[in-house]
Amino acid sequence: MKSIYFFLITFLIINSPLFSQRDKEEVDPMFTSAFKKYENKDYSGSYLDYSTYLIKKPKDPNAFYNRGLCAFEMKDYKDGITNFDKSISLGRRRADAFYSRGLCNYNLDNFSLAIADFDTAISLRPNYAKALTYKGAALNELKKYKEALPVLNEAVASDPKYDNSYFFRSITKYYLKDFEGGLADCNQSLAIKNYYETYFWRGLHYHNLKRYKESVNDYDTVIAHDPKYAKAYYNRAIVYYDEKNYERSLADNNKSLEIDPTKPEAYYNRALSKYQLGKYKEAEPDFNAAIDLKLNTAKHHLWRGINYYYLKKYSEAMSDLNITIQKDNQSEWGYYYRALIKYDQQDDKGVIEDCNQALAVNKSHDTYYQRGISKYNLKDYQGAIDDFNESLKLKPDYRLATLERGIAYYQTEKDALAMADLSRAIEMDAKSSRAFYYRGKLKKYMNDLPGSCSDLKQAQVLGHESAGEELVKNGCK
């Protein structure tokens, strides 16, 4: 039942060097100077020199192309597109020009335009691994994972030594839920290039394969490289949560929010960690923050409602659980916890109605037990026994269902069955005043007065309010 919201990570862009052919036959000293500055990674200086050169030769497609490369390296992607457009219009209709313009569009989130450019590059240079790779990456961004996979397969076949093809294919496979295949691609990518972002995605694959230790190790590697990587803390927190290591999960959620306080999912996950630690009051503002930040699906209202229930804020809990059921009429736990609130409000008919709805979704020992208690309260003892039977089929060692079935048997004068259940309940919990009390009453009717007095005295010692009165009735000394 206790689940956690899993946050889907936005792709991070890998700015690998552009595949380009720079024309070294140029003899103009300004062009040569610009080219050398680019080679020395002085991109702004190179850009200025190409601009000076273009004043003299304003129709040189190679200079525009190279200036576009400078703009790309300086992350001025719009200017890069302007320069690549000019280069192409002046006659440089080569694969690298379309690929380079495609990368600029990709970085500007113009994914459809990027794909068109990569397609042109591929038509001019078949088996162009880098263009195929980033076409696949752009399809990933458009959530067209089934279309991306064959493109990335072709990229890998075209150049088995290009790490990014494996990297982006691992992302595709993640969203297609092929976690073993994605893990293999991450390993292949890392064998070519040790890149921390690949460890991040490998951590996701390990997590989904329930290989929690390896997943944590990969997030450790990412955080060691970049201690301010909020999503790595966030995802490691989820792994710790699934391991039921709620203290560490809480610590990582704290760190994630310290770095990036804008993510509603992080507030929600931190609230869940606090909830699991029984810190209901501390969890409340985090649940509120998540929902205030528009994270308001049925699941989010459900868990806030459950948290309100344990805070005994029944009105707020009921409101959230009603919203949960409005958003998801198959929410088993929405009905179940609403039934618990109705039980506290002594609305046993309402409890039975909500338990019926919950059981229509899933057969749960807890729900059968709760419905049985309300049937008992309505004096439907046989109906209660039937529900306790179903509960015990699902959980044979369920002490409370055993105890309450024994009491229901007592009410229907099935003395042998009642004795068996009440004795079994005492074996499971020797401090159950309720079990001793009813067994004491039962023994009186079975003509075992000494046994009755003994059990009633034990019930009184354990704090049962009515035991003393029964002792007086029995004449126990």
Question: Taking 50 as the threshold, does the pLDDT of residue 17 lie above it?
Answer: no
What's the predicted TM-score (pTM) here? Answer: 0.85
As separate numbers, helices (DSSP H) first and strands (DSSP E) second, the chain gives 27, 0
CA 326/CA 177 separation, integer angstroms: 30
pLDDT bracket for residue 27 (50, 70, 90): low
Check residue 474 and give its pLDDT. Answer: 87
Question: Taking 70 as the threshold, does the pLDDT of residue 3 lie above it?
Answer: no
Check residue 91 and give its pLDDT. Answer: 93
CA 461/CA 454 separation, integer angstroms: 11
Question: Taking 70 as the threshold, does the pLDDT of residue 26 lie above it?
Answer: no
Tell me the mean pLDDT in the region 433-459: 93
Instruction: Name the E strands within 373-454.
Output: none
DSSP label at residue 22: -
User: Taking a C-beta distance cutoff of 8 angstroms, is the pair 186, 202 a contact?
Assistant: yes
DSSP label at residue 14: -
**How far is CA 278 from each of CA 5, 170, 246, 300, 310, rounded to the nearest angstrom?**
19, 38, 10, 18, 9
Query: Per residue in 190-200, pLDDT tens?
Result: 999 999 999 99
pLDDT bracket for residue 427 (50, 70, 90): very high
Tell me the domain boundaries of the chain: 431-477
Question: Taking 50 as the threshold, does the pLDDT of residue 16 lie above it?
Answer: no
Tell me the mean pLDDT in the region 19-32: 62
* Burial of residue 110 (number of CB atoms within 10 Å: 0-12, 13-18, 19+): middle
pLDDT bracket for residue 28 (50, 70, 90): confident
User: Taking a C-beta distance cutoff of 8 angstroms, is the pair 276, 2 a contact?
Assistant: yes
CA 189/CA 171 separation, integer angstroms: 12
Tell me the mean pLDDT in the region 351-371: 97
Tell me the mean pLDDT in the region 384-400: 97
Question: Taking 90 as the threshold, does the pLDDT of residue 7 lie above it?
Answer: no
